[in-house]
Amino acid sequence: MSYLDSYTPQSGTSEVRVTHYDLDLDYDILPNTLRARAVLDARVLEDCSALSLDLEGLTVERVLVNGQPSSFKQAKTKLVVDARERFSVDEALTLEIHYGGTPTPASGAWGDIGWEELSDGVLVAGQPVGADTWFPCNDHPSQKATFRVTVLVDSDYTAISNGELVSVDSRGPRTAWTWESREPVATYLATVQMGQYRRGSVEPGSYPPARVPLTLACGEHLWSQAQHVLAKQHAMMSVFEQRFGAYPFGYYGVVVTDDELEIPLESQPLSIFGPNHMTESWESERLIAHEMAHQWFGNSLTPASWSDIWLNEGFAHYAEWVWSEASGRRSAHEEALSAHAELSGSKQKVVIGDPGPKKMFDDRVYVRGALTLNALRMAVGDQTFFTILQRWTGQNRCSNVTTTDFLALASKVSGRPVEPLLHDWLFEKKLPALPETS
Ligand SMILES: [Zn+2]
pLDDT at residue 348 in the model: 82
Domain shared by 53 and 113, yes or no:
yes
- Determine the pLDDT at residue 2: 67
Q: For residues 178 and 429, what is the distance between their CA atoms, to the nearest angstrom?
A: 47
The CA-atom distances, in angstroms, between 43 and each of 4, 94, 172 are 16, 9, 39
The H or E element spanning position 426 is helix 419-427
CATH of the domain at 229: 3.30.2010.30
Confidence class for position 212, pLDDT limits 50, 70, 90: very high
**Residues less than 5 Å from ion ligand 1, measured at CB:** 313, 316
Q: Which domain holds residue 287?
A: 198-295
Q: Terminus-to-terminus CA distance in the chain, angstroms?
A: 54
Q: How far is the CA of 294 from the centre of ligand 1 (A)?
A: 7
Same domain membership, residue 412 and residue 289: no
How remote is the CA of residue 175 from the centroid of ligand 1, in Å? 33
- Shared domain check, 310 and 204: no
Domain end: 295, 314, 329, which one?
295
pLDDT, residue 438, reads: 56
Pair 329, 400 in one domain = yes
Residue that is last in its domain, among 295, 317, 347 = 295
Residue pair 426/352 in contact (Cβ under 8 Å)? The answer is: yes
Q: How far is the CA of 438 from the centre of ligand 1 (A)?
A: 31
- Amino acid 92: pLDDT: 97
Per-residue pLDDT reduced to its tens digit, 217-243 = 999 999 999 999 999 999 999 999 999
Confidence class of residue 260 from pLDDT cuts 50, 70 and 90? very high
If one counts every other C-beta atom within 10 angstroms of the C-beta of residue 373, the result is: 26
Give the list of residues 6+ apart from residue 331 with CB closer than 8 angstroms, or none: 321, 324, 325
| Residue 400 alpha carbon to ligand 1 centre in Å | 17
Q: How far is the CA of 295 from the centre of ligand 1 (A)?
A: 10
309 CA to centre of ligand 1 in angstroms: 10
Residues 135 and 117 in one domain: yes
| 352 found inside a domain | yes
Ligand 1 center to 237 CA (angstroms): 17
Helix and strand numbers, DSSP H then E, in the chain: 9, 23
Q: How far apart are the C-alpha atoms of 12 and 139, rounded to whole Å? A: 5
> Can you give the pLDDT at residue 3?
78
State pLDDT tens for residues 322-380. Answer: 999 999 999 999 999 999 999 998 888 899 999 999 999 999 999 999 999 999 999 99
Given a cut of 70, whether residue 178 has pLDDT beyond it is yes
Co-location of 177 and 284 in the same domain:
no
148: left (phi over 0), alpha (psi -120 to 50) or beta: beta
Q: 262, 295, 328: which is the final residue of a domain? A: 295
